[in-house]
Amino acid sequence: MKGYLLRRLAYLVPVLVGISLLAFGLGRLAPGDPARDVIARTTGHQPTHREVLAERHRLGLDRGPAVQYLSWVGHAVRGDLGISYTSGEPVARAIGDTLPLTLELAAAAFLLSLLLGVPLGLLAAARSWSWVDHAVRTVALVGASVPGFWVAYLLILAFSVHLHVFPPFGTGGLSHLVLPAVTLALFDIALLARLTRAAVLETLGEDHVRTARAKGLAERRVLVMHALRPALIPLVTWSGMSFGYLLGYSVVVETVFAWPGLGYTAVLAIQARDYPFIQAFALVMAVVFVGLNLAVDLLYPHIDPRTSFSSAQSSADEG
Amino acid sequence: MRERAPSLQPPAVAEYAAAALAEGLPFAGPRRRALRRLVRDRGVVVGVLVLVGVGVAAAAAPLLAPFAPNEPHFTATLRGPGSTYLLGADNLGRDELSRLLVGARLSLGSVAVATLAIMFFGVGFGLVSGYYGGIVDSAIQRVVDVLMAFPSLVLALAIAGVLGPSLRSVVISVVAVQWVSYTRLVRGMVLAVRRQPYVDAARSSGASDGWIILRSILPNVLPPVVVLATLELGGVLLTISSLSFLGLGAQPPTAEWGTMLNEARPYFESNPHLMIAPGLAIVVTVLAFNLVGDGLRDALDPRTSHAVAGARSRRWDRLRR
């Protein structure tokens, strides 16, 4: 266990270095001269050559790329993500203010998809090839095919504009969370319903399920304790996958609902070409995602006793 | 040639066509069985019909569109659907239907370009990685690890944002993020194929590495790649539309589905038709892509679909190695 943990952490080092390199490199992809850009934006006039040189020096852009990268990483590790080009405030503070809101939204969507997706999939598997199953599969197919931002507007039209049940924009209270969380969860609910159905259908054909039925257990108990439990492993794998989707798509959902999380703030930063913020946004989202995946990985052996840490490692080596 | 069956009823025509199609299928053995399953799959048939319809509409858009897509009709601003403007007109009085038809070309075209580029880079790096192994393989795989460590939309958004708003940036960002799943899939398959006797035979008969990769190995890895690409088409369209919707894609006044949705945002309460029409166009197209993709996967033998499922889950299920 300890050895596995160490190996797993050691593997993270090159990935984290790569993440930081890529996030840093994003700033260098930008066309034009950031120094000239910043002056033009803050003062509103075209800068002289001398001013540009001074600004370049102030931003550290006159140093070599390697030095710039090391200085950037060095500061990032200590929690300093630079100064926003637009607000002039530390990027880290803005991220500290907005990231919790994004995580709140993602967590709500995650719970919602578990609470709706798993029962739907179980229901479909229990009544496989009936109309219930067809209905669930159709809903799942459609749910995976609609653009979330479009559904968001339909939800606002229905529940805010016409029914006045939920507020359309902003934060505050549980009622503000409902529509964004449903929108964000939709794709995962669809995916999870499909996954659960397939996994449960597979375990339903196994011997231990037949034994459970033969000894006269109630069908509901057979389904939940004997068919669903072994199906949990693909569900845990799914959760690792879903975090990436939830973090990424939160950007779109937050923009529609004016939810002042990290994603919405990042879209504003992109429109304002605030490169330090864009770099920090990519870095922080990737680190959060990597951390969540690490947590999921460490969860495996607790859910499936058959995968001890050593065998988890050997099966992982094939991939 | 088959004999013509006399007086066919409409449902029988479809059945007859399917049977004729199944008879005349190319290939033999498992591939033919797969194709037979495919033409019997109602979802696939519906999906293909829809895609053909959308494709024809996009190709013939200049002929079908009642107006020029950017032609303003100031008397018709924000008009609802009616007889002159079948799907209504937008805030500048431009005909929504015409914009939808012409926009299909850019939306579908960008999906096609992105998917081809993703396949090119993904398969290319996968072939090289699996065939040469060693340090080349390690280097490529580390890059893949890093790209997979990002939530894909976050990275695509950041790249497109930094490159500056245009449909080209969006396509580049999607390609930059998505090629990795193909690389993992292809690399795994190359490792399996590389030791096959026919590869050894090709090598001992003096074939070059390039010839072996392209003629002996590539044909074996292509079917799952095509399935994966089909399954992902809908996702690519959704990603491109999402980025366009955020204002990073095609810029106004260009007609493109995601951009049209972005432009409709201020009017969604008063004129929901401006949002419903392009949204439905996306939904119908993605649904058709997904129906065909699912059918294609189910029609193939279990081994292939297993590999594809692995590649798809691994794309999300990053870092678990």
In chain B, where the domains are located: 32-66+85-320
| Mean pLDDT across A186-202 | 88
Indicate if the alpha-carbon torsion angle A116, A120, A121, A126 is positive or negative.
Answer: positive
| Mean pLDDT across A206-218 | 81
Nearest chain B Cα distance for residue A215, angstroms: 33
Residue A248 at interface with chain B, using a CB cutoff of 8 Å: yes
Burial of residue B270 (number of CB atoms within 10 Å: 0-12, 13-18, 19+): exposed
Q: Considering just the CA atoms, what is the radius of gyration of chain A in Å?
A: 24
Q: Out of A18-27, A47-56, A168-177, B56-65, give the one with best mean pLDDT.
A: A18-27
**CA A26-A30-A36 angle, 5° bins:** 130
What value does the mean pLDDT of chain A take?
Answer: 85
| Whole-number pLDDT of residue A52 | 83
pLDDT of residue A313 exceeding 60: no
**CA B55-B58-B61 angle, 5° bins:** 145
The domains located in chain A, with CATH, are 2-77 (no CATH), 96-318 (1.10.3720.10)
Question: What pTM value is reported for the model?
Answer: 0.86
Q: Are residues B152 and A249, on separate chains, in Cβ contact within 8 Å?
A: no
CA atoms within 13 A on the CB side of A52: 11
pLDDT of residue A230 exceeding 50: yes
| Whole-number pLDDT of residue A314 | 43
Q: pLDDT, tens digit, for every residue of A245-291?
A: 999 999 999 999 999 999 999 999 998 888 889 999 999 999 999 99
Q: How confident is the model at residue A127 (pLDDT cuts 50, 70, 90)?
A: confident
Cβ distance B129 to B142 under 8 Å? no
A window 147-176, beta carbon within 8 A of B: 147-150, 153-154, 156-157, 161
User: What torsion do the CA atoms of A246, A250, A252, A257 make, to the nearest 10 degrees?
Assistant: 130
> A121-130, A201-210, B141-150, B244-253 — which is least confidently predicted?
A201-210
**CA B49-B54-B55 angle, 5° bins:** 95
**CA A224-A225-A227 angle, 5° bins:** 70
| Whole-number pLDDT of residue B80 | 78
Give the contacts of B296 (CB within 8 A, at least 6 positions apart).
B38, B44, B226, B227, B230, B231
ipTM: 0.88
Nearest chain A Cα distance for residue B269, angstroms: 7
Please name the CATH architecture into which domain B32-66+85-320 falls: Orthogonal Bundle (1.10)
| Whole-number pLDDT of residue A316 | 42
Chain A residues within 8 A of B290 when measuring between CB atoms? 141, 144-145
* Nearest Cβ partner for A26 among B158, B248, B314: B158
**Chain-centre distance for alpha carbon A316:** 23
Burial of residue A219 (number of CB atoms within 10 Å: 0-12, 13-18, 19+): exposed
| Whole-number pLDDT of residue A296 | 85
Which has more pLDDT, B321 or A173? A173
Which has more pLDDT, A127 or A266? A266
Q: pLDDT, tens digit, for every residue of A174-186?
A: 888 889 999 999 9
| Mean pLDDT across A17-38 | 84
Q: How confident is the model at residue A198 (pLDDT cuts 50, 70, 90)?
A: confident
Report helix, strand or coil for A90.
strand
Q: Which of A11, A145, A156 would best serve as a mutation to test chain B binding (most B beta carbons within 10 A)?
A: A145
Residue of B nearest to A30 (CA): B162
Which has more pLDDT, A312 or B34? B34
Which has more pLDDT, A61 or B222? B222
* Tokens linked to A112: 């919602």
Cβ distance A236 to A297 under 8 Å? no
Cβ distance A102 to A94 under 8 Å? no
Chain A residues within 8 A of B293 when measuring between CB atoms? none
| Whole-number pLDDT of residue B279 | 93
* Tokens linked to A228: 């669903």
Q: For chain B, which residues score pLDDT lower than 70? A: 1-31, 301-321
Q: pLDDT, tens digit, for every residue of A134-167?
A: 999 999 999 889 999 999 999 998 888 888 878 8
Q: Which residues pair with A125 in a beta bridge?
A: none
Chain B residues within 8 A of A316 when measuring between CB atoms? 320-321
* Nearest Cβ partner for B290 among A19, A141, A248: A141
| Whole-number pLDDT of residue B8 | 39
Q: Which of B41, B42, B137, B154 would best serve as a mutation to test chain A binding (most A beta carbons within 10 A)?
A: B154
